[in-house]
Every structure is written in structure tokens, then in C-alpha cells.
Amino acid sequence: MDPEAAPGVDPGVVVRRLAPDGLAGPTPRVGVGGPDEVFVRLAPRLREGEARLRSLVGSEVDVVAAIGRYLASAGGKRLRPMLTALGAGVVGFRGDWSGLMCVAELIHLGSLLHDDVVDGADLRRGRPAAHTVYGNAATILTGDFCLARAVLLAGEAGGHRAVVELARAVTAMAEGEVLQLQRAGNLHTSLDAYLEMIDKKSAALIAWASAAGAYATGDDAAAVALERFGRGVGVAFQITDDVLDYAEGTGKAPGADLRERKLTLPLVHAMVRVPSLRARLSERAPTEAEVPALVDEVRRSGALDAALADARQRVADALACLEVLPDGVDRDSLAVLGRYLVERAR
């Protein structure tokens, strides 16, 4: 579905295809022990983080501020700030909460600005992509601005270790994007190569967000556990997004990955189950008229259930990493959120 803010709340405080529409509203829905309860408990910190994010994308250079506000105000899942808040809570972080929560989101926003230029995307979060409004050059440079702001903020809110680990995560993200470009349209790419790509492109930053508070407090054992948790749920999150590409009701026409012949785990499973599918897609890209039938073919093959089973196993392995951490509501909330990242595809 398209981004939709809760009634009476700043429209930037949005979780698209992730949280219920009561995330930050005055009369939220509460599900005892479930994800709704987690979202409600986090709402005050998310509102604080959202206000800080709006400030951070500001600039004395008008076009930089305009592009930053344009993307930030379009909303988003805000998954990374949620993971940062919960991971920091587990280790008893007492520093600049809103700043630490914004680091990974600024990296994410900067990468989205870059990605849309590279991909030539026309839309982002239901609105014209920033580069179609402000031009490629200004959009790319504003993406650089977001990345630089994030690095500075990581140092201020998290300290030296947080900056070093963030640099490693952003390096991996860049490598993952290049791998995706290199392998575009190559349906003979191995499953291991696909997993390597999404580990770098998506999971590396989610791992950093989960462990940011541990980096800041110098808790090395917790940092290892939270990194492993974040990496596991990050891969599962991307697999689930790949499954949702074949779903109805997401606000996008099903089959975008098929149109681009992008290798994803659902398509890998489908090509194993329907051997002729690889040959047909390798020969040429499907026409617009052919996409609905291909989407249905992938669905009927059982590939989506197989991919989600893989994602659920990765979440289960990730949750096991949390067992070494202090028991409490933040650790329990990480587990609930980790499961929900996959179960949202039901």
C-alpha cells in the first residue's frame, strides 16, 4: 500500500508495509505481545527521531534542503531507527537517542537518492522521484550530503567505533549495488551470489543499526550478538520484499522484478520448479502483456512459500543470537519485530 500517516500526526512519521496505521496516532491499536504493542511503545522516540531527521536534512543551500525535505516527508518504513532504539535500549544506552536513531536512516535516504538516479526510477514512495523534479546532479550531491551528515552524526552520537563500523557498512552497500548492476538480467547467477548481494546491499546497514548502541557503549559482546541478529533479519527482510513483488495490494503493480529479469529468491525457486522459465526469461524480457501470466506462474509454483520459509529460518537463527543479551522488554521487542518483518507478507 502507499505510505499513509496516522491521523493527526506529521505525515513523515510513517511505516510503509511494516507498521499498522496507528504507529504514532493518539488512539493507537494495541495488540498485547504483538508488533502493535512494540510500535506504540516506540512511538514517542520515533516522533523525536522524526523531528531530528527533518532538522538534519536542512541546509543553508536551498536546493539541498528542498531535496532532503522532499524525500524525508514522503515517509518510509523507519525500520532502521526502530532497530537502533531497541538495540540501544538492550545495552542501556544513555546518550543522544534521536541522533543515533537518525544515522542509518540518513544513509538509507542518501542511498535512495543515488539508487533512483542509477535505476532511472520515475517514482519513489508514490511520488515522482527526486531526480525527476530537481535533476540528476543536485539529487546525487544531496545524497552525498546525507551520507556526510550521517558519518558526522555517528561520531557525535556514537563515537569512534560507531563511525568505523558505519564506514564498513557503507562500503559493503556500495559493493552490493555494483554487484546488482553487474548481475542484472543474468538468470544464471548462483543462489550464493544473490545472498552475497543482498547481505551487502541491505543487511549490512540493518546490522549496523541494530548494534549502534552497543558500539556507543563499548559493549563488544552485545555488538557481536546484535550485528548477527541484524544481518539475519536484514537478509530475511530483503527476501520478504522480493516475495512482496509478486503480491497484490502493495501499491505497486506485481512483477517489477520480473519485468527487469532481476534474480531474486522467489524466482530462483520458481525456475527450479518450472524448468522452462529460465530459458524463456533468458531469451528476452517479458512484454507488459506477458507479465501477469508469469507472475501467476511463479505464484502457482510454490516459490513464494519456499522463499518465505527460507526467510523465517533466517529470522529464527537471528533470534537465537539475542539469547546472550540481557532479558527485558527491548530484547523481546527485537524478537517481535524480527518475526514481523517476514510475517507482514501473509
Is residue 214 classed as helix, strand or coil in its secondary structure?
helix
What's the CATH code, domain 35-343? 1.10.600.10
CA 18, distance to chain mean position in Å, is: 10
The neighbouring-strand residues paired with 128 are 123
DSSP string, 36-99: HHHHHHHHHHHHHHHHHHHHHT--SSHHHHHHHHHHHTT----HHHHHHHHHHHHTT--S-HHH
Which tens digits make up the pLDDT trace of 25-57? 333 333 337 888 999 999 999 999 999 999 999
pLDDT surpassing 80 at residue 343: yes
Instruction: Indicate the domain borders of the chain.
Output: 35-343
Q: In whole numbers, what is the pLDDT of the chain averaged over residues?
A: 88
Confidence of residue 77 (pLDDT cuts 50, 70, 90): confident
Please count the CA atoms within 13 angstroms of the CA of 125 that sit on its side-chain side.
Answer: 22
- Mean of pLDDT values over 300-308: 96
Instruction: Tell me the pLDDT band of 250, cut-offs 50, 70 and 90.
Output: low
Comparing 225 with 6, the larger pLDDT belongs to: 225
Q: Closest by alpha carbon to 75, among 37, 124, 148?
A: 124
pLDDT tens profile 219-232: 999 999 999 999 99
Residues 6 or more apart from 196 whose CB is under 8 A from it? 179
